[in-house]
Structure 1
């Protein structure tokens, strides 16, 4: 009989503990839901938060050895692809990026410090992309732009302002033309 009483008491304690944990989780979910509802409409975190940002000042060298700065990218609309050399989905998007019918496209490849073997496998995916800039880790350009996920594809206007952003070319609205 004492074992039965102990088992019932233990079961009651476990049920109370389970109920307390369930209420704590529900309270946390409700708090999270309230914070999500308080965000401005039409804006989400991630790549959507990049829309409206301006291309920061930078000085870099392309893989062709040419100096590239912010002023070199102004004056015409561009598509900027930001890729990580160590990211698998970046390879697929880089190949699609290389097929864009836009001679002004610019690729920014990060995570290249000490990874020359990975870089040698990645750069060919970009095909004949006119401008390819390499940055160590999440370098100054990607960092100042606020890029936090890879790949990130940005459509820039003539003034260097981000007008569209996505993690795939299919998320950018037209005109994105792919060569036949």
Structure 2
């Protein structure tokens, strides 16, 4: 009889511990769900691949492929600028580049800067797609524009305001605001 009492007490303690642990797990899941819901659309946060809103790019002076003239930070402030970094070896870049071209065509090529990452041979198709609607720079990874905009991956895009500060950044052009009319 005493074995039965001890077994019942142990089983009761084990069930109580199980309830306490289950309560803790449910509470953590609720906290996690609340954090996810607090993010945009309840989804994953946008990765930081380029300067975030409010930041200002460092000074730079690369050369465009389309006209061969230097372009610096002062050239990117007139009424806002759309900036995009693309690599020919990245699948999301191949998906986003045509969408970027559509947005750039509506903005005017003097208000769009596109950076193709790689050698001139490797970026030939990408440059051909971007040149009609943007000032295009071909540079190696970690080049002057990469450093100026703190690019960490591709595709990376941002909209600069009239003061040359980042207004918004994203990995998809759909998530960027339209440029204001000039």
Tell me, yes or no, whether TM beats 0.5: yes
TM range (shorter): 0.5 to 0.7
> Where does residue 115 of structure 2 map in the other structure?
108
Equivalent in the alignment of 2:72: 69
TM-score by length of 1: 0.65
After TM superposition, give the deviation of residue 125 of structure 1 in Å.
Answer: 2.4
Task: Give RMSD over aligned pairs.
Answer: 2.9
Deviation of the 1:174 alpha carbon: 4.1
Q: How far off its partner does 1:49 sit?
A: 5.9
Tell me the equivalent position of 1:12.
none
Of 125, 132, 155, 1:128 maps to 132
User: Where do residues 29-108 of structure 1 align in structure 2 (5 Å cutoff)?
Assistant: 46-47=48-49, 50-64=52-66, 65-100=68-103, 101-103=106-108, 104-108=111-115
Q: Deviations over 1:14-67 (max 9, x none)?
A: xxxxxxxxxxxxxxxx9xx9xxx8xxx999751486221102211011012121
The gaps in structure 2 that reach 5 residues or longer are 1-27
Alpha-carbon distance in structure 2 between the residues aligned to 1:137 and 1:48: 13
Match of 2:22 in 1: none
Is the 8 Å Cα contact of residues 46 and 148 (structure 1) preserved in structure 2? yes
Q: Give the unaligned 5+ runs of structure 1.
A: 1-29
CA distance in 1 between counterparts of 2:146 and 2:62 reads: 12
Give the length in aligned residue pairs: 138
Q: CA deviation at 1:82?
A: 1.3
The structure having more radius of gyration, on CA atoms, is 2
Q: From the superposition, tell whether residues 125 and 118 of structure 1 become closer, same or farther in structure 2 (CA, over 3 Å).
A: same
Question: Residue 98 of structure 2 aligns to a residue in which SS?
Answer: helix
Relative to structure 1, is the Cα distance of residues 159 and 176 closer, same or farther in structure 2, using a 3 angstrom cutoff? closer
- Give distance in 2, aligned partners of 1:44 and 1:87: 18
